Amino acid sequence: MSQTTKTWDARQLPAVSDRHIDPHAYPNGVAFLDGQYLPMSQAKVSVLDWGFLHSDATYDTVHVWNGGFFRLDQHLDRFFAGLEKLRMTIPFDRDGVSEILHDCVALSGLRAAYVEMLCTRGASPTFSRDPRQAVNRFMAFAVPFGSVANTEQLQRGLRVAISDKVRIPPASVDPAIKNYHWLDLVRGLYDAYDRGAETALILDFNGNVAEGPGFNVFCVKDGKLSTPAIGVLPGITRRTVFDLCSEEGLAATATDVSVAALKAADEVFITSTAGGIMPVTEIDGAAIAGGKVGPVTSRLMTLYWQKHDDPAWSSPVRYP
């Protein structure tokens, strides 16, 4: 890795409004649906689709940065594993899905994009309650890149609250299957907002820290990293942190992380495809790392974004 590669600067993030003023407006972007490419505003699903009615779907998201997909193969691996576990089939193999994702980004012209592939159970022509009679439906889209944390939060660290809401246990829903079961996470978010925080972490069924809405969490203590092991999505950015730690000689383990251990950590950060590695400097109103972004977090943030220029980690979009 070149030592001259520029360091990560949160100001590189595209400006994103907190909320669409028009609730019927759509972000710029391109979707693939029913064999054709469409503007995002024209990509629709039936109200009878099981993905809408029952949250019966799986998906994966990958981001494009500076015109390149980051770790696309890992995202495809997870998406196809989810399809198999949910007994869903789509009319495309890995190369076919990859081509569709490339086309969505290329047609949109976006150089920084949030790209999603998803499959719903679909709908039955007779409105049958038998999932075997539903026609599975694949779709994909590319929209402008967005982050869990905005520019200010990336620079000063997020303020997080720990909710007492419990994540859906693995015995009920396999967390390795990326899914839209977010009511526990959304309830946790409202708990956080009520307490003046910006986002939330919720618990696993043993009362330990699990994850947040769309992200995993890491803590650093005495130079060693740990992240929750049970009841969490094995995120691609989470895996990337393990890979970076291996390269840098940092110890990192997946294990139980108690609420007390998280609050006593030297540093805390969260990880997501939507934003990468993002610092946390306050939990339940108490400062972490003296309220400053810690050195291990800063180091990993820089390394993470440097990897986007590494052809072993990133693949260029096939723009026309």
Question: What's the per-residue H, E or C state across 189-237?
Answer: HHHHHHCCCCEEEEECCCCCECCECCEEEEEEECCEEEEECCCCCCCHH
pLDDT by residue (tens digit) across 279-289?
Answer: 999 999 999 98
What tokens does 110 get?
């976006």
Mark whether 177 and 297 lie in a shared domain: yes
**Could you give the CA distance from residue 65 to residue 316 in angstroms, rounded to a whole number?**
9
Mark whether 159 and 220 lie in a shared domain: yes
Mark whether 163 and 109 lie in a shared domain: no
End-to-end CA distance of the chain: 29
Mark whether 178 and 280 lie in a shared domain: yes
Whether residue 274 is contained in a domain is answered as: yes
Mark whether 225 and 85 lie in a shared domain: no
pLDDT by residue (tens digit) across 16-75?
Answer: 444 445 656 778 999 999 999 999 999 999 999 999 999 999 999 999 999 999 999 999
Look at residue 4 and tell me whether its pLDDT is greater than 60: no
Mark whether 167 and 299 lie in a shared domain: yes
Domain boundary among 96, 115, 144: 144
Whether residue 32 is contained in a domain is answered as: yes
The pLDDT, as a whole number, for residue 17 is: 45
Look at residue 12 and tell me whether its pLDDT is greater than 60: no
Average of pLDDT values for 272-278? 97
Residue 79: which domain range? Answer: 17-144
Mark whether 124 and 214 lie in a shared domain: no
Q: What is the CATH number of the domain that holds 106?
A: 3.30.470.10
Mark whether 207 and 251 lie in a shared domain: yes
DSSP string, 52-68: HHS--EEEEEEEEETTE
**Could you give the CA distance from residue 168 to residue 249 in angstroms, rounded to a whole number?**
34
Q: How many domains does the chain have?
A: 2
What tokens does 172 get?
């009920």
The pLDDT, as a whole number, for residue 26 is: 78
Whether residue 114 is contained in a domain is answered as: yes
Mark whether 222 and 302 lie in a shared domain: yes
Whether residue 316 is contained in a domain is answered as: no
